[in-house]
Structures are given as C-alpha cells and as structure tokens.
C-alpha cells in the first residue's frame, strides 16, 4: 500500500503517462523497481526499454497529475466509519491479490475500500464470480440471490460487479449468507467496479455498496473521479473472473457482457459454469451457448461445490435457514424494533431469536430499505421519528 504522498504521486504519474499502458509500465518496473526510480532516468536510458515517444512522455508531467495526486492522498487519509479502510494497493505489494498476478494484464494499482486486511488472506480457491443480465427475469434474480447465499454459507467469497440485476442480487445473497453464519468465516463478497471509488454506480446501489464495505470489499483500477464510461466495464470484467476460481453465469443474452467475462475466465484458465433456463427466454440464450461450448451446467449450489471440489455441503445450512425464516415475520420484527434506536442485544432480548438469525433478518430489512444501521451498532426503523 502506498504510505506517503511522494510514493502515491510517482505511481499515479506512471499510470497517467500518455502512451504508457500497463504492459509498458511493467517493463519499466522490471528494469528500475519503483516508479520513483523510473522518473530519475534520462530520456536516453528510458529509450533502452521503451520507444522514443514513450521515453519523451515519461520525462513530462501528465496533465492534471499533481491535482489528482493531492485529491487521492486526501481521500486515502479521510476518516471513515470504524472498521472500514481505504487503500491504494500497488503491483508487488504484499496485499496485492495473488490471483490477479496470474492473469496476463494485472492492473498497476487497485483502489480498495472496506475490509482490506482480508485481501492478503484471499485464496483464489475460495472465490466464485457470479455475473449475469442487468435485466434478469424474476427467476434469474431469485437464482442469483439464493445461489450466492448458499455458496456464502459454505465459506466461499462471491465476486461480482455491483451492476443492476444479477450482480446486485449476488452481492445481497452473499451478505445474507454471511449473516446466517454470524459473519464468521470467509470474506462474503467483493465488488469490482468500473468507476472511481469516490462515486457509486449505479446510484440505486448506494445502500448496497455501504453494506458491502461493512463486511466485504469494493475494488477499482480506475482513478478517483473516473465516471461510468462504457469501455471501463468490459475491461474490469477480467478482474472479476481473475479473482475467482470459477465464473458462474446466471442469466445472459447472446450479446451480454457476462459472456465477455466468461471468455476472459477461460483465457485465464478458470472454470466456467452456467445455469440453464427456458428455451424461450432471451436471457437464457447466452447460458445455453456457454453450455454448448463446454461450460458446466449447474442446477444447484451443491453442483458448484462439487465442481470446485469444495469441502462441505450446503443442504443442511439451507434447511436450517429455511426452517427458521418464518420464526419472526417482518412486521413483528419491525414492531420489536419500536421507533427509537436499539442495540442488537436489546432487540434480541425482545424477540428471542438467535444472534445469527436476527442479524440475517435485520440485513434483509436493511436491503429492503426498512431498517437503518446507525453508528455504535444501533438499528432503527426507517421513517421513525
């Protein structure tokens, strides 16, 4: 992680230099070790590694570089809620995800927000990417949420892109699954986004993004201030698949960006799985094409675990969750909350639910916008006086 304004400035200068892409930047780093050393070289020395035009560009400060460096340093130093960290993780840093070092074009830098310490322990074998349509069928949304919840209860990390539709449902399901386990075990979810981390896109997922950084991580390779530019999203997909042992496509049309992710997963040597659907549904045609091309057809979360040779079984956890889901209807839980902020312990004393079950139901209500999580571990009904 960058620790000084000077270190940050040198990395950003390398990333922003016109005509110097990630591959060229890696060659320069291989030659001189650190960005600061690169910018100490003469143009003649630089020409031994890069073209004359690139060497000339490296000797000039990129437009807006200093301002962006200052803004980024302020963002890194800005206070956040307790337990939520901000970091800029550079290639070669001990906290850089090892899985991304295996792909052909790892990003020079990763902006990270959330439970960043978990990145170092993240093993590719415990992550599954879930992608699909931004306009899924109702069944597609259910499948995404339930598969993610079941896989999360088995200790897997769900990686997706925070987009509308399947992505959002996958993140929600992963958070619900982790809540069932009382937030123990693996990192529940990682969102890889196509904008700077100083903004949330789409805006409808602002609350979901807040939930993710409470328990998981949001990552981006794009500088602060980067808007939702169309080319950024297909490019970031290589990171979604690269962080994961397998990519599960829930629903996808034939021209879906999810098929790009699946293609990148195959190129990275990762597994690809797909959930079949109706032969009459446009959103199923991409999945059916992948299955024809050799993707693993999966009908349950257990199929995914077996394909990954993951220890354990989801059926008992699913049964336990299902058997308690009706223990306290939502209206009764809202009544137990009352109209003033209340702690988890006090609420548990009122309703008598086990901690993990209560946390899961509260999270469901948060995602529905009916309950707000307040500082100090308090909860309150939305709209309460």
| Tens digits of residue pLDDT in 94-105 | 889 999 999 999
Contact status, residue 321 vs residue 301, Cβ threshold 8 Å: no
Residue closest to 307 by CA, chosen among 194, 151, 185, 157: 151
At 186 the pLDDT is 76
Tokens of 189: 């979810």
d(CA 319, CA 337): 27
Distance CA 35, CA 213 (A): 30
Instruction: Give the position of tokens 């797909």.
Output: 274
H-run or E-run covering 127: strand 127-131
Helices and strands counted in the chain (H then E): 17, 12
Going through 269-317 in order, the beta strands assigned E by DSSP cover 271-274, 296-297
List of residues 6+ apart from 210 with CB closer than 8 A: none
pTM metric for this prediction:
0.83
pLDDT given for residue 324 in this prediction: 36
CB atoms within 10 A of CB 211: 19
Name residues of the chain where pLDDT drops below 50: 315-327, 385
pLDDT at position 121 is 81
Q: Round to the nearest angstrom and report the end-to-end CA distance of the chain.
A: 43
pLDDT on residue 320: 36
pLDDT at res. 319: 32
């Amino acid at each position: 992680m960058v620790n000084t304004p000077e270190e940050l400035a040198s990395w950003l200068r390398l990333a922003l230099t016109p005509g110097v892409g990630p591959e060229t930047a890696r060659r320069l780093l291989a030659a001189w070790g650190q960005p600061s050393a690169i910018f100490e070289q003469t143009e003649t020395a630089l020409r031994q590694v890069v073209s004359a035009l690139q060497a000339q560009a490296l000797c000039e400060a990129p437009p807006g570089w200093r301002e962006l460096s200052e803004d980024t340093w302020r963002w890194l130093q800005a206070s956040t809620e307790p337990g939520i960290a901000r970091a800029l993780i550079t290639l070669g840093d001990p906290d850089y995800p090892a899985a991304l070092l295996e792909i052909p074009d790892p990003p020079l830098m990763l902006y990270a927000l959330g439970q960043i310490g978990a990145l170092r322990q993240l093993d590719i074998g415990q992550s599954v990417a879930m992608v699909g349509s931004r306009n899924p069928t109702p069944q597609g949304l259910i499948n995404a949420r339930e598969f993610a919840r079941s896989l999360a209860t088995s200790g897997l990390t769900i990686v997706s892109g925070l987009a509308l539709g399947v992505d959002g449902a996958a993140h929600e399901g992963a958070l619900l699954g982790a809540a069932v386990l009382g937030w123990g075990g693996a990192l529940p979810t990682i969102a890889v986004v196509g904008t700077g981390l100083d903004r949330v896109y789409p805006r409808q997922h602002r609350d979901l993004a807040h939930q993710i950084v409470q328990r998981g991580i949001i990552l981006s390779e794009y500088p602060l201030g980067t808007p939702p530019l169309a080319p950024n999203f297909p490019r970031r997909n290589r990171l979604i698949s690269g962080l994961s042992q397998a990519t599960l496509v829930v629903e996808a049309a034939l021209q879906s960006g999810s098929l790009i992710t699946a293609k990148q997963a195959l190129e990275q040597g990762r597994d690809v799985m797909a959930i079949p659907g109706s032969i009459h549904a446009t959103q199923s045609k991409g999945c059916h094409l992948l299955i024809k091309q050799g993707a693993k057809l999966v009908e349950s979360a257990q199929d995914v675990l077996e394909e990954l040779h993951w220890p354990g079984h989801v059926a008992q956890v699913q049964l336990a969750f299902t058997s308690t889901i009706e223990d306290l209807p939502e209206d009764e839980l809202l009544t137990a909350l009352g109209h003033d902020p209340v702690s988890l312990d006090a609420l548990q004393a009122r309703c008598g639910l086990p901690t993990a079950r209560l946390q899961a139901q509260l999270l469901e209500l948060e995602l529905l916008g009916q309950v707000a999580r307040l500082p100090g571990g308090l909860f309150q009904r939305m709209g309460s006086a």
